[in-house]
Amino acid sequence: MGNTANAALRNEVVSFPDEDLILVDDNDRTIGHLDKAACHRDQGTLHRAFSLFVFNPQGELLLQQRSADKPLWPMYWSNSCCSHPRRGESVDYAVSRRLEQELGMRTEAEFVYKFQYHAQFDETGAERELCWVYLGRCAAQPQPNQTEVAACRFINTTDLDRELGEHPERFTPWFKMEWTRLNSDYQDLLRRYTQPDQA
């Protein structure tokens, strides 16, 4: 996608409260569909989701600050891109679609693991997801869609670990869980992405 098309994405609305998400059981089997707003209401209803970590050629992670208009965790920092497959979509397709919609980027995303979690934001809403975690690398600069992204930045792992230790309240709960798991259970794989490319 060229620069002109990327610029056109910057204010495009790409999320809708009535879009159908995929409900799953504890084994990630599809059991139905429910609109996004209802999936996140009250204690949340378990649905399929994904989180993508995109690294640049220098081995730095792209962080995204969520839009102030998000109903859950607005203005919190999180991983590069996280969202949901819609009814009829594969997770791989949703990862590609959403990365391009939010940041105007493309990557060959590598699936790492999936896990289930529940995080309560307030009395009105929560995340209850069975989340697929991916890693990717991209040399392009992000072109943030301002309806989804308040800001974005690249950070090296040393500075990220320090910031997470000093200010954990600035980050989304799923990002903290995923980064901890990647560092504990997938160190060798993660190292491939966090090491700078050889010139």
What confidence tens digit (pLDDT) does each residue in 80-126 have? 999 999 999 999 999 999 999 999 999 999 999 999 999 999 999 99
131 within 8 A of 116, measured Cβ to Cβ: yes
What residue ranges define each of the domains in the chain, with the CATH number in brackets?
A: 3-194 (3.90.79.10)
pLDDT of 6 > 90? The answer is no
Looking at the whole model, is its pTM more than 0.75?
A: yes
What confidence tens digit (pLDDT) does each residue in 14-60 have? 676 789 999 999 999 999 999 999 999 999 999 999 999 999 999 99
Annotated catalytic residues are 82, 129
d(CA 164, CA 47): 27
Nearest residue to 170 via CA among 74, 49, 44, 68: 74
